[in-house]
Every structure is written in structure tokens, then in C-alpha cells.
Chain A
Amino acid sequence: MTTEAGSTAAAADDVKQRDEYFDALVAAGECVEPRDWLPDGYRRMVLRQIAQHAHSEIIGMQPEGSWLTRAPSLHRKAALLAKVQDEAGHGLYLYAAAETLGVTRAELLDALHNGHQRSSDTFNQPALTWADTGAIAWLTDGAAVINQAPLCRTSYGPYARAMQRVCQEETFHVRQGYDLLWSLCRGTREQQEMAQDAVDRWWLPAVALMFGPPDTVEGGDGDTRAAALGAAVSRRSMAWGIKRHTNDELRQRFIDNVVPQAERLGVTLPDPAIRWNEERGHYDFTPVTWQVYRTAVAAGAQCGRQRLAHRVAAHEAGAWVRAAADAYAARPVTERQEP
């Protein structure tokens, strides 16, 4: 009896100590590493974010990937191929980071395929013309850079290290997309129109979906609960150092970056409210409300189902490759052909 009570008290002490140690680590801005003890809530939150991020990288290969065979020159094709390959690589960095939290990549892919986990809604739009590959890279990758730069200092070490690699590559993605649009904007009238049309199509996915819903509790009654919940998750995530800035802060940063780039390019951003605000030192723009956000998500629903179906089909069609690799690895060494 005494022993039992004693060990329960000791266990409670241990838990308290672990909690305090963890909180102190995060408060000091130190990285949390895989073999540290983690609170369940932290593990779930980091895992959910890394998994969603990884899924978005590989689903995000599809809109641009569909133009690989139709690139207008060998140079553009090589650049696009490298870009799409990078996205696959980003997915792999992130799946590896997620695996340090005690799941397997196969489990994560299953969760994506059966709908238990989702990818970003950003890529649930069709890439209708060649110019879309430029607009996607300039706008959504440009938004990703803003989102991801602070994640290089996120509190979970493997995630931060994956993001450092990702960020080194994103700059190339944005630049090649901008360069592609630059050429179109200096081409024929049809090419200029094609560039403008693609920018119109990808503006809202970049501004609304890449940064997520607004942080503020605004909009209709139906939105209040979701907004309050979202804001609470956001605060928790920031307290744990997973997330470093609010969605709206990052969105503003993106707008401030991209408006002068659009002027230089010669395209019109499809938001009449964009103008410089001397007082704030920022560009004003149409706020992304919950309603705007929901509309943008809904617009991609059908294309989103196609993206997922395509992903599942590719995975199933590749089953024989994985089986062959296993069979080859299982063969006795003597049966293998020397290179």
C-alpha cells in the first residue's frame, strides 16, 4: 500500500517534471528533438501540420506536372521538371520528419488516400494554360516562401531542418515562375492575356488558401464558432513555437511583396482594393473573410476530388514497383548481378 502510493506520487512528480522541462525548453527557444518526451497535444499538432504540409507538396505536383509534356521550349521544360521534382523532394523531407514522431510514410499516405488527412486546398484548381505554371510558381510558391521562412525556426527540430532545405529551393521556384510570366508579358497580345488570365485564376488560391482563414472572429454567426476554435488552435500553436506568426500577418507580408512585383511585370492583380496606405506602411487589400475563404475552398471541391483520385491511381499503379524492390532486396546476395 505504502509502496503503491509512493510510486504513484513519484510518477506524478515525474510527469510534472517532464511537463516543466518541456515548457522551459520551448520557452527558451530551443529545438524539441525526436527523443525528447513530448506532450500528446504537441505531438498531434506537429504531426498534423507536417502531414498536411507533406500531402500538399505531393498533390501540388499535379497542376504543373500536367504541363511537363507541353512546355514551349527545352529550357522551360527542364526548369519545370526540376521544379516538380523539387516538390516531390519536399514531400519526402517532410514525410521523413513526420516519421520521427512514430508513424510510417505508408500510414500517412493511407490517411491522405482515404480522406482522414487532407492536403492544402490551394492546388484544387485546374491549370488551364501554360501561363498557369508561371502564376502558380510566382504566387503560390511566393506565398509558401512567406509561410515557410518562419517555419525554419519552428520548435520541432526535424520539421525546422526539413523547412530549411525546402526554403533553399523555393526561391528558384518563384523566380522561374516570374521569369516565365515576364516572357509572356513581353510577348504577343494573346500571350499577355494568357498571363493575366492565369494570374486572375491563382490570385485567390494564393491569398486566401495558402495562408488559411482569418485569425479574427468576424463574419456571420455560423462562422463565429469555427473562427474562435481556429484562433484557439492558432494561439496554442504559437505558444508551443510551432507557428510563429498569425495567418493575417503573413498574408499582409505577401501582399506587400507581390504588389510591386506585379507592377513590374505589367499584370493587374484582381483586387480593386489594393492601394498603398501611407499611414500603415502597408498595402490595403480586400480582407479575406471567412466567407471569402469558404468560397475559395468550395470552388476547388470537384478538382480536389480529381487530384486525390489521380494520386490514389498513381499509388496503386506503382504497387508492382514497390513489390519488385522488396523481392530484389530479399534475394540472396549470390543471385544478384554485379554492377
Chain B
Amino acid sequence: MSREAAGGQTPWEVFIRPRRGLSHQHVGSVHGADADMAIANARDLYTRRGDPLSIWVVRSDAVRASSPDEKDPFFSNGADKPYRYPQMYVPLSEAGDHDE
């Protein structure tokens, strides 16, 4: 992901909290020579309408991601474990699976 950045072209990922009660969500990316310029560009690009509460910018090359090649073994902890779901157990009432 890391590329030679010139002409203010460092890429940043943009996260916006659209309203209270929600976490920041990834909305896209912008270029900016530094964090302040990236924030200003993100405001101009992603908040022209509506009333968002806050913006985060993170340098794109600072994002550490799981590799797609590792996909199967890396996420195997979540697969094939039916005993982690409530439906696998006796319901608490006649209404069946809709109980708590």
C-alpha cells in the first residue's frame, strides 16, 4: 500500500461518526500532505451534506490488515463451532428460539 507520496498525495482513510450513538465508520479515502490537510479534505469531500459529529483520518499505510491469503486458518476460530450459538440449546419457553 505504501507508495511514493508527492504533491500532497499521501493517502488517508477517512472515518466519520454520522451521529451520536454510532461508532466511526469507514467512508472512503482522501489525499493530504499531512493530517490537518487530510482532515480538511475529508470534511470537504465527505461532509457536504448532513451534520456529522466527527472525523478521523488514518494514514492508509498505517492500517495493518489480515492477509486474504491467510483467510482460512486465520479465521478458523469462528467456524464450525455451533455450540457458540444459543439456538443449539433447549429454549427457555414454549415460544422457542425467541426467548432470551
Contact = CB atoms under 8 A, between A and B. Distances in A.
Contacts of B45: 89, 92-93
A5 interface: no
Contacts of A99: 11, 29
18 contacts: A35-B65, A35-B67, A35-B68, A82-B48, A93-B45, A96-B29, A99-B29, A106-B9, A161-B28, A165-B28, A322-B7, A323-B7, A325-B37, A326-B6, A326-B33, A328-B33, A328-B34, A329-B34
A92 B28 CA distance: 10
Main secondary structure of the interface of A (DSSP, over half): helix
A85 B8 contact: no
A105 B31 contact: yes
A316 interface: no
Interface residues of A, number: 25
Interface in B8-59: 8-11, 28-34, 37, 44-45, 48-49
A200 interface: no
Nearest to A323: B7
A102 B51 CA distance: 33
A210 to B, nearest CB: 24
Interface of A: 35-37, 82, 85-86, 89, 92-93, 96, 99, 104-106, 161-162, 165, 169, 319, 322-323, 325-326, 328-329
B41 to A, nearest CB: 8
Contacts of B68: 35-37
B3 interface: yes
B7 A326 contact: yes
A113 to B, nearest CB: 14
B-side interface mostly: loop
A194 to B, nearest CB: 30
A177 B20 CA distance: 35
A171 to B, nearest CB: 12
Interface residues of B, number: 22
B7 to A, nearest CB: 4
Contacts of B11: 96, 99
Contacts of A319: 7
A104 B48 contact: no
Given A82-B48, A104-B3, A325 B8 contact: yes
A92 B65 CA distance: 24
Contacts of A104: 3, 9
Given A96-B29, A104-B9, A329-B34, 14 more contacts: A35-B67, A86-B48, A89-B45, A89-B48, A106-B6, A106-B9, A165-B28, A169-B49, A322-B8, A326-B33, A329-B8, A329-B10, A329-B33, A329-B37
A3 to B, nearest CB: 22
B33 to A, nearest CB: 4
A162 B8 CA distance: 22
A319 B6 CA distance: 11
Contacts of B6: 106, 326
